[in-house]
Structure 1
Amino acid sequence: MEETIYCIGCGAQIQTKDKDKAGFTPKAALEKGLETGQLYCQRCFRLRHYNDISDVNMTDDDFIRLLHEVGDSDALVVNVIDIFDFNGSVIPGLARFVSGNDVLLVGNKKDILPKSVKDSKVTQWLTERAHEVGLRPVDVVLTSAQNKHAIKELIHHIENARRGRDVYVVGVTNVGKSTLINAMIQELTGDKDVITTSRFPGTTLDKIEIPLDDGSYIFDTPGIIHRHQMAHYLSAKNLKYISPRKEIKPKTYQLNSGQTLFLGGLGRFDFITGDKQGFTAYFDNELTLHRTKLEGATDFYAKHAGSLLTPPSQEELAALPSLVCHEFSIKEKTDIVFSGLGWIRVTGPAVVAGWAPEGVDVVIRKALI
């Protein structure tokens, strides 16, 4: 029987099979570590030597245990969400678990929004959406982890809101939480190697402790997998289409009723009835939008998804759920939001429909621009 070995940094059980799970260590590193007695998992190794935090994925049960830990402590909860994918980056049940604790909501990836989008509108929208899922954030901060935008302000907000307490940073996978924490560490400590790793007692869940001057800690927690994120249906090569890295350049299409826009093969927008008007699309600059007739659009998709309409690729198409229709009657300027992909601004009046893979949300909001 093989001996169970644990990482001396975070306490996770060492394993060599799944690089996305806690405790992963390449075989060569495992052999070397056993010789020296200094056995770290790859995540801790990268953390110690490069100040680099990477996310690990957890099961739902693991995450519920973690939320209980957070809920039982008197702490500030910093919930990082993706501005582009609020619905896909909400942690199910978070409001229930942290009911006694203050929540600071951080909207990440602000730099992707066109400059014409006002911060106040985004903040208001995020606050309203948070209220809908039962969260009452003490504040909302917009950041960009990637280009280190508003990191100083975020630290200032955390300092004010925590009032001497510990801080737990939580978020689902793919929201940029680890990049954000790395940016905060750099801001707080320069390049000094002051990060330590620890774990919750009695479990193999690791949390990363960033010590603060007053003896409290910021705890980074592993990312929970949210089943209804568009990201789960795409390969690493095609993730760029739903995780833009540059500011989005809007494209306007003059459509007559009875026309359809395909969003690659990941979504579809139908203009069902209304006067001819301009529809402005806000998606990754490289995502190809294809205009066709509404009549026959379903057959067109069946024929061309994975070839003319990409992403997804042919291989990804097999795992992509069927597109589901969400119909809306629009009276005023409104955004039709395809969760995790982008949005289309409708001037109205019009009856329109948004299609997305089953489980991925299509919602409407008052136009941001």
Structure 2
Amino acid sequence: MATAIERRCSGCGVSVQTESAERLGFAPEAALSRDPLLCQRCFRIKHYNEMSSVTPDQDEFLKILSGIGATDALVVHIVDLFDFEGSLIAGLHRFVGNNPVVLVVNKIDLLPKAINVNRILNWVRKQAKEHGLKTVEVVLCSAKKNIGFDRVVEAVAEHRGTKDVYVVGATNVGKSTLINRLIRDYSDLDAELTTSPFPGTTLDLVQIPLDDGRHIIDTPGIVYEHRLTEKIDKKDLNAVLPDKPIKPIVFQLNERQTLFFGAFARFDFVQGARQSFTCYASNALPIHRTKLERADELYAEHKGEMLSPPAKDRLDALPPLVKHAFRIPKGSLSDVVISGLGWIAVNSDAGAQIVVHAPKGVKVAIRDSLI
């Protein structure tokens, strides 16, 4: 009896099946003769920018990552500079063992143009070290704008020797975009990985052959539920994911004033001398200022309308807001980070007491100032 040939989607790497449209990898019989072969999910993403509700299993992600430590490989960990803490893989060393790690920090193009690149690089190295991540090199780049990409390719060539290369990262960090540039420039493969604004579009291992018989292996993105982008309706992703350089917005606040970021989050300046707060978020997301004493009432009455996105018909997808209280010490340069939304820089000579309201489960943290 002949053994069935396993077909894999050239977009996401998942095994293609024709039995059930409700399961991952479905493709109609008529699509099996297409070259390159795409599952129905990838076909709809590529041609209609439409996201299927079928999602991969998180345990499978961890199973794939756990296998890397048993290999002799170079690991390229891609993170999103716009959401560094939210996209860094916690405890990566447990998965990769002694394999060397190149940290590629993508989306450098989203930062304001007048930035000190060396300061950013030093900041990333310090943050990586504090998170226990040992790296052989850190590279800043923008896959979208082709900034620093030559150095990424050079770093891979220098550090891999004759090893396979595993590319790992959280969802929506630009991993597939980066891989597609490698495919176009350094492989004869006549295909592209699926890229879209939706998290988790690579579902299984995708192997890209290299000239020496080794492979670049794209792994599924890890879904981190602590990122706002994993909590909100897919229609609102364009409002929170910037696609061009952020224009910081500075607010001079007196104590007991509040900033609303659409209806997604709220920032209360509870106590402290009058001072400035600089907001780094997508410029498609409106920020509304009000008095703290009116904030609860304003949110209850105007979320989904004056305070939007999300619109009223998508509010049900948003978890309830919960409080995170912080005290910023005098003379500190700190960022208040809302994972997946951005951050508020607090450059306080006098100190400040603040409260952040974010959807339940979204990570909120204080870090040393990035800019």
- 1:193 pairs with 2:189: yes
TM-score (ref. length: structure 2):
0.83
State the SS of the aligned residue for 1:23: coil
Task: Quote the Cα distance in structure 2 between the aligned partners of 1:65 and 1:367.
Answer: 35
Partner of 2:17: 14
Partner of 1:360: 362
- 1:346 pairs with 2:346: yes
State the SS of the aligned residue for 1:129: helix
Superposed, 1:321-336 pairs within 5 Å as: 321-330=319-328, 331=330, 332-336=332-336
Partner of 2:200: none
State the SS of the aligned residue for 1:238: helix
Deviations 1:90-118 (A, max 9, x none): 33443211122111111111101112332
Partner of 1:31: 30
Tell me, yes or no, if the aligned pair for 2:264 and 2:358 is still in contact at 8 Å: yes
Task: Quote the Cα distance in structure 2 between the aligned partners of 1:72 and 1:174.
Answer: 26
State the SS of the aligned residue for 1:184: helix
Deviations 1:145-181 (A, max 9, x none): 2122211110001111212211001112211111111
Task: Quote the Cα distance in structure 1 between the aligned partners of 2:192 and 2:178.
Answer: 17
CA gap of 1:43–1:141, structure 2 versus 1, over 3 A, is farther
State the SS of the aligned residue for 1:58: coil
- 1:60 pairs with 2:58: yes
The match for 1:155 among 153, 156, 163 is 153
Tell me, yes or no, if the aligned pair for 2:141 and 2:147 is still in contact at 8 Å: yes
The match for 1:144 among 142, 145, 154 is 142
CA gap of 1:247–1:316, structure 2 versus 1, over 3 A, is same
Identity %: 43
Partner of 1:134: 132
Please list every run of 5 or more consecutive structure 1 residues that lacks an aligned counterpart in the other structure: 198-204
Deviations 1:62-101 (A, max 9, x none): 1122012211101011111111112322334432111221
* Alpha-carbon offset, residue 364 of structure 1: 1.8
* Alpha-carbon offset, residue 142 of structure 1: 1.3
Partner of 2:272: 274
The match for 1:224 among 222, 225, 241 is 222
Tell me, yes or no, if the aligned pair for 1:81 and 1:108 is still in contact at 8 Å: yes
State the SS of the aligned residue for 1:131: helix
TM-score (ref. length: structure 1):
0.84
Deviations 1:293-323 (A, max 9, x none): 1113123212222211111222332121222
* Alpha-carbon offset, residue 45 of structure 1: 8.8
- 1:42 pairs with 2:42: no
Task: Quote the Cα distance in structure 2 between the aligned partners of 1:282 and 1:267.
Answer: 13
Q: CA RMSD in A?
A: 3.0
State the SS of the aligned residue for 2:305: coil
Partner of 1:201: none
Deviations 1:234-260 (A, max 9, x none): 333321122100101111111111100
CA gap of 1:11–1:354, structure 2 versus 1, over 3 A, is closer
Q: Which amino acid aligns with 1:278?
A: S
Partner of 1:101: 99
Q: Which amino acid aligns with 2:345?
A: R
State how many pairs are aligned: 345
Please list every run of 5 or more consecutive structure 2 residues that lacks an aligned counterpart in the other structure: 194-202
Partner of 1:283: 281
Task: Quote the Cα distance in structure 2 between the aligned partners of 1:248 and 1:11.
Answer: 35
CA gap of 1:117–1:366, structure 2 versus 1, over 3 A, is farther
Tell me, yes or no, if the aligned pair for 2:231 and 2:318 is still in contact at 8 Å: yes
Task: Quote the Cα distance in structure 2 between the aligned partners of 1:113 and 1:196.
Answer: 28
State the SS of the aligned residue for 1:286: coil
Tell me, yes or no, if the aligned pair for 2:225 and 2:231 is still in contact at 8 Å: no
